[in-house]
Structure 1
Amino acid sequence: MLQLQHITKTFNANKATEVIAVQDLTLRLEPQSFTVLVGANGSGKSTLLNLIAGSVYADKGHILLHGDQIQRLPDYRRSRWIGRVFQNPLLGTAASLSVLDNFRMAALRRSTKWLKLGTGVVFRKHVAEKVARLGMGLEDKLAQPMGTLSGGQRQALTLLMTVMTDVDVLLLDEPSAALDPRSAREVMEIANRLIAEDHLTALLVTHNINEALRYGNRLIQMENGKIVRDYDASAKRVLDHGAVISWFDYF
């Protein structure tokens, strides 16, 4: 379980440019839940993800994962339990390295499990089996440079690398926003499947209303650093595109 208790984050405190990005926010994400977060630009969505991931620290409040306080742990330590996928598919992979070498780097960032295996037969088999889960035929392209793949393929592989070391929480920061509609849908379907199959607790930030309605079992809206709407699965099911649009002056 991931809990945020009375979290506040202010940038440029006591200056003319002061911004209270997150205000006394409390949020509880149940194990194996899939929550979708929407909000206008500047509502605090990205700051919230940064606070959970450890990219920035809260000024006040507590963040607990499985009952343990993690709000002062740096991001590299939290990455053992918390994985994050960004909007730009180029950020999650090294273009000049092979697919296999990218998986090797991802494994080493979070675990010492594969330190002595290099990219030998055992590791290659492990990666091939993982990649086959995508259903994209990429298990036959492990020696291919990552930069020769499409944005959708790279983002799908980034998703897989993020969860391959058994993280508990997956943060999805607009993972389909930079993709064409077909690739975006494919990546989101893969994400949805991995979340279910790996029993992850997931938090998706999106500006895409169709995604907000299609995925997840909870929908929350942020505004001015606060949660202003919170719909559980049953309430979310009766929402439509027009209802969500009405929440915003612009989206």
Structure 2
Amino acid sequence: MLQLQHITKVFNAGKATEVAAVQDVTLRLEPRSFTVLVGANGSGKSTLLNLIAGSIYPDKGSLLLHGHDIQRLPDYQRSRWIGRVFQNPLLGTAASLSILDNFRMAALRGSTKWLKLGTGTAFRRQVADKVSTLGMGLENKLAQPMGTLSGGQRQALTLLMTVMADVDILLLDEPTAALDPRSAREVMETANRLIAEDQLAALLVTHNINEALRYGSRLIQMENGKIIRDYEEIAKRTLDHGAVVSWFDYY
């Protein structure tokens, strides 16, 4: 369980360019929950994800994971518990390495062991079994360089690698924005399955209202660094596309 308590982040404090990116945000993410975060550009969504991931630190407030304070841990230490998938499929993988070697690197994330790219039969079988769940036939191409794959294939593999180290929190930063509709649907279906199977607490940032309503169990809207709507009944499908669109004047 992840708890944010009265989190505030101000950039360029005391200057003419001061921006209160996140203001007094309190949020709780439970296992097997799929929370969707929407809002206009500049509303604070990406800053909030960066605060959770450890890319930046809050000015005020506390951030607790399973009751332990992690707000001053850097992102590379938090990666043992918090995984993140970015908008650009190129950011989540090493293009020159094979699929198998990418999975090996992911498996050692947060480990104190020396990185060894050698992979044994048992590990290869484990990776092949995981990759086969995508239904893309890539389990037979583990020696193929990651850079030769399509964006949708790389993003789907990134999702699998992100949870390879048994993370508890999954941050999805517009993971389908650069994909075609079919690839986007495959990536979101994979994410939805992993959240349920691994009992993850997921937070998705998206501008795609259809994705938000189809996959989310909770819908949060941010504006000017604040949470202005927190709709926890989305799983009952009592919201429709038109109702959510009416929240915004930029769509």
User: So what's the TM-score if we normalise by structure 2?
Assistant: 0.96
What's 2:189 paired with? 189
What's 1:209 paired with? 209
Q: Distance in 1 between matches of 2:106 and 2:125?
A: 16
Deviations 1:166-194 (A, max 9, x none): 10000000000000111111111111111
What's 1:139 paired with? 139
**Counterpart residue identity of residue 8, structure 2:** T
**Counterpart residue identity of residue 223, structure 2:** E
Q: Distance in 2 between matches of 1:17 and 1:98?
A: 45
Cα deviation, residue 233, structure 1: 2.8
Cα deviation, residue 216, structure 1: 1.8
Q: Equivalent residues in 2 for 1:1-20 (5 A)?
A: 1-20=1-20
What's 2:154 paired with? 154
Deviations 1:218-249 (A, max 9, x none): 11100010110011135761111111111111
Deviations 1:86-145 (A, max 9, x none): 000010011111101111111222335796783121221121111112121111010001
Asked if 1 retains the 8 angstrom alpha-carbon contact of 2:132 and 2:139, the reply is: yes
Say yes or no: does 1:238 pair with 2:238.
Answer: yes
Q: Distance in 1 between matches of 2:202 and 2:113?
A: 24
Asked if 2 retains the 8 angstrom alpha-carbon contact of 1:99 and 1:142, the reply is: yes
Asked if 2 retains the 8 angstrom alpha-carbon contact of 1:34 and 1:202, the reply is: yes
Three-state SS of the structure 2 residue aligned to 1:26 is strand
Three-state SS of the structure 1 residue aligned to 2:15 is coil
**Counterpart residue identity of residue 199, structure 1:** Q
Q: Distance in 1 between matches of 2:108 and 2:235?
A: 42
What's 1:179 paired with? 179
Q: Equivalent residues in 2 for 1:89-168 (5 A)?
A: 89-111=89-111, 118-168=118-168
Asked if 1 retains the 8 angstrom alpha-carbon contact of 2:101 and 2:117, the reply is: no
Q: Distance in 2 between matches of 1:116 and 1:21?
A: 40
Asked if 2 retains the 8 angstrom alpha-carbon contact of 1:7 and 1:25, the reply is: yes
Query: Which shifted more, 52-61 or 100-109?
Result: 100-109
Q: Distance in 1 between matches of 2:226 and 2:40?
A: 12
User: So what's the TM-score if we normalise by structure 1?
Assistant: 0.96
What's 1:223 paired with? 223
Q: How many residues align structurally?
A: 251
Asked if 2 retains the 8 angstrom alpha-carbon contact of 1:213 and 1:236, the reply is: no
Q: Distance in 1 between matches of 2:138 and 2:111?
A: 24
Deviations 1:48-76 (A, max 9, x none): 00000000000000000000010011001
Deviations 1:144-178 (A, max 9, x none): 01111110000000000000111000000000000
Query: Which shifted more, 128-137 or 58-67?
Result: 128-137
- What percent of counterpart residues are identical? 86
What's 1:47 paired with? 47
Asked if 2 retains the 8 angstrom alpha-carbon contact of 1:219 and 1:236, the reply is: no
Deviations 1:23-51 (A, max 9, x none): 01111112221101100000000000000
Three-state SS of the structure 2 residue aligned to 1:7 is strand
Structure 2: 5+ residue runs without aligned partners?
Answer: none
